[in-house]
């Protein structure tokens, strides 16, 4: 036996097996199910009714409202009301308007390493940053999980993505992911499990790691794992999770891999992805000169506390370019409160940013805040598909919080490192 990958170990345990062999179809017990206001109650309740069953285990279901918050359309408000009523009726733990599901779930201590978790959202791989095998499903499949507590999986191969060395100043997890999307393509993950390893990954904060796992979705992977370490356990304990540290939750040295990619973190430059795909990534210095109307700091990928802090580091004491609009939608109420305490929210205010609710906002494009026809936006979000954030003629460039902030100051896409160096010199 040559050993097993982290993904295989978690799946084998959840499926009640000695081992899980890649390619094999297994049925696993679900440790936790996360649903939100869009794919959640309004879609699953009619199915549960049809089946004539309740939830398999109320204590293992967490509901979070984010997509339709703040209920700025009649239908959105109605969906939120229905979501609230359902939470009460079904007695499910509900985080209402407290932030984006992928950020709120670990922040409230719901995740633990080794768990098998199903989320009703495509960015559910975010949970992999905490060593949980978490993946996204649609509403019908989620209804099946809520009714039975089980889900089928094809045991994935593990695509090991190793980043040796350390990221240079001005380079963030987001740059890693855009570079990977460009290099491997949006189907490079082949619905297998991606696992991030290497010195650069170990050095990242938990929220930066979340950005890596989150955007495993953009690689088309089922999950995006990072083996738990002392940082993971410290973060989760602070969030109120109780658990013992398991040293075996890692990929064994001899385990067979689907692929092993090695990159040099120190050589990575800040990236942008041109419209309309994250795979259109390039180094900022290679991007064509692009003037901008709008900068968006938002989403589970790009508006967590660390993201806000990074954006503010550049914005501090600087003004936005004339005509530029900056929108900031902090990913959770808790992250916003922390940012306010540390003076970060004040920096956004001084810069003249417009503050949006702790929700998906323009990233989902489900409400009234949308990009106007012909507008050109630089955004810290994960996806720049045509028409996603507004009119199909709008252009969205994806970048890190550093790059979004520096570009908001410059009025065009710029390398944030020039702005950081200025600061260091001053």
Partner 1 sequence: MGRVFLLGDDVDTDQLAPGQHMRSGIEAIAAHCLEAVRPDFAAGVCQGDVIVAGRNFGAGSSREQAAEALKHLGIAGVVAQSFAGIFYRNAINLGLPVLVAQTIDGIADGDHCVLDVDAAALTVGGSEIALEPIPDNLRRLLDDGGLVSHLKQRFAETRR
d(CA 173, CA 254): 28
Q: Residue 366 interacts with partner 1 (CB under 8 A)? A: yes
Q: Residue 64 interacts with ligand SF4 (CB under 6 A)? A: no
Strand partners, 28: 151
State the binding string over 286-305 for ligand SF4 (x if CB under 6 A, else -): -------------xx-----
| Nearer Cβ to ligand SF4 (249/329) | 329
- Closest by alpha carbon to 124, among 204, 64, 59? 64
Q: Residue 129 interacts with ligand SF4 (CB under 6 A)? A: no
d(CA 156, CA 159): 9
Q: Residue 23 interacts with partner 1 (CB under 8 A)? A: no
Q: Which of 364, 389, 394, 406 binds ligand SF4 (CB under 6 A)?
A: 364
Q: Residue 210 interacts with ligand SF4 (CB under 6 A)? A: no
Tell how far CA 378 is from the center of its chain: 18
State the binding string over 116-145 for partner 1 (x if CB under 8 A, else -): ----xxx-x-----------xxxxxx-xx-
Reading the block at residue 16, the tokens are 């009640």
Q: Residue 63 interacts with ligand SF4 (CB under 6 A)? A: no
Strand partners, 61: 33
Q: Residue 382 interacts with ligand SF4 (CB under 6 A)? A: yes
Question: Prior bond to 276 cis, omega within 30?
Answer: yes
Q: Which of 35, 100, 377, 389 binds ligand SF4 (CB under 6 A)?
A: 100
φ and ψ at 397, to 5 degrees? -105, 130
What 71-78 contacts at long range (C-beta under 8 Å, 24+ apart), as own/partner pairs, is 72/367, 72/368, 72/369, 73/367, 73/368, 76/366, 76/367
> 370 is in the binding site of which of ligand SF4, partner 1, none (Cβ under 5 to 8 A by kind)?
partner 1
> 100 is in the binding site of which of partner 1, ligand SF4, none (Cβ under 5 to 8 A by kind)?
ligand SF4
| Nearer Cβ to ligand SF4 (120/188) | 120
d(CA 237, CA 241): 5
Tokens 């970060």 locate to 344
State the binding string over 45-74 for partner 1 (x if CB under 8 A, else -): --x--xxxx-------------xx----x-
- In degrees to the nearest 10, what's the CA dihedral of 198, 202, 207, 209? 20
d(CA 163, CA 197): 6
| Nearer Cβ to partner 1 (277/310) | 277
Region near ligand SF4 per CB under 6 A, out of 7-15, 248-256, 339-347, 357-365 = 357-365
d(CA 387, CA 182): 21
d(CA 124, CA 98): 17
Q: Least distance in Å: CB of 209 to ligand SF4?
A: 16
DSSP state at residue 54: -
Region near ligand SF4 per CB under 6 A, out of 20-28, 269-277, 344-352, 358-366 = 358-366
Count of Cβ atoms closer than 10 Å to residue 341 Cβ: 9
Q: Least distance in Å: CB of 70 to partner 1?
A: 13
d(CA 224, CA 202): 15
Chain contacts with ligand SF4 (rule: CB under 6 A)? 66, 100, 102, 121, 123, 299-300, 360, 363-364, 381-382
Chain contacts with partner 1 (rule: CB under 8 A)? 25, 38-39, 43, 47, 50-53, 67-68, 73, 75-76, 79, 120-122, 124, 136-141, 143-144, 147-148, 152, 185-187, 191, 220, 222, 277, 279, 364-366, 370, 383, 385-389, 392
């Amino acid at each position: 036996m040559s050993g097993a990958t982290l993904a295989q170990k978690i799946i084998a345990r959840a499926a009640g097996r000695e081992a899980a062999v890649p390619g094999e179809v297994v049925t696993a017990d679900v440790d936790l199910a996360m649903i939100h206001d869009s794919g959640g109650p309004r879609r699953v309740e009619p199915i549960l009714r049809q089946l004539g069953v309740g939830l398999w285990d109320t204590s293992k279901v967490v509901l979070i409202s984010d997509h339709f918050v703040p209920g700025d359309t009649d239908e959105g408000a109605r969906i939120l009301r229905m979501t609230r009523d359902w939470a009460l009726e079904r007695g499910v733990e509900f985080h209402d308007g407290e932030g984006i599901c992928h950020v709120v779930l670990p922040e409230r201590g719901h995740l633990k390493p080794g768990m098998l978790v199903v989320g009703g959202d495509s960015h559910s791989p975010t949970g992999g940053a905490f060593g949980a095998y978490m993946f996204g499903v649609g509403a019908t499949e989620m209804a099946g999980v809520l009714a039975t507590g089980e889900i089928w999986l094809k045991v994935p191969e593990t695509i090991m993505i190793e980043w040796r060395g350390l990221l240079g100043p001005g380079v963030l997890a987001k740059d890693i992911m855009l570079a990977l999307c460009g290099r491997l393509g949006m189907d490079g993950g082949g619905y297998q499990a991606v696992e991030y390893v290497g010195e650069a990954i170990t050095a990242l904060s938990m929220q930066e790691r979340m950005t890596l796992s989150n955007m495993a979705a953009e690689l088309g992977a089922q999950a995006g794992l990072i083996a738990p370490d002392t940082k993971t356990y410290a973060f989760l304990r602070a969030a109120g999770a109780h658990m013992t540290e398991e040293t075996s939750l890692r990929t064994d040295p001899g385990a067979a891999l689907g692929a092993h990619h090695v990159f040099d973190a120190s050589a990575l430059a800040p990236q942008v992805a041109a419209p309309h795909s994250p795979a259109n990534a390039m180094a900022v210095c290679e991007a064509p000169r692009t003037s901008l109307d709008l900068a968006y700091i938002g989403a589970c990928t790009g508006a967590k506390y660390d993201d806000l802090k990074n954006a503010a580091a550049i914005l501090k004491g600087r003004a936005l370019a004339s005509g530029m609009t900056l929108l900031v939608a902090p990913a959770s109420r808790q992250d916003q409160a922390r940012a306010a305490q540390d003076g970060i929210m004040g920096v956004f205010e001084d810069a003249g940013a417009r503050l949006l609710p702790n929700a998906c906002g323009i990233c989902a494009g489900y409400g009234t805040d949308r990009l106007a026809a012909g507008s050109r936006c630089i955004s810290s979000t994960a996806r720049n598909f045509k028409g996603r954030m507004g009119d199909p003629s709008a252009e969205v460039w994806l970048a890190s919080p550093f790059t979004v902030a520096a570009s908001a100051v410059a009025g065009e896409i710029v390398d944030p490192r020039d702005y950081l160096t200025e600061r260091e010199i001053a």
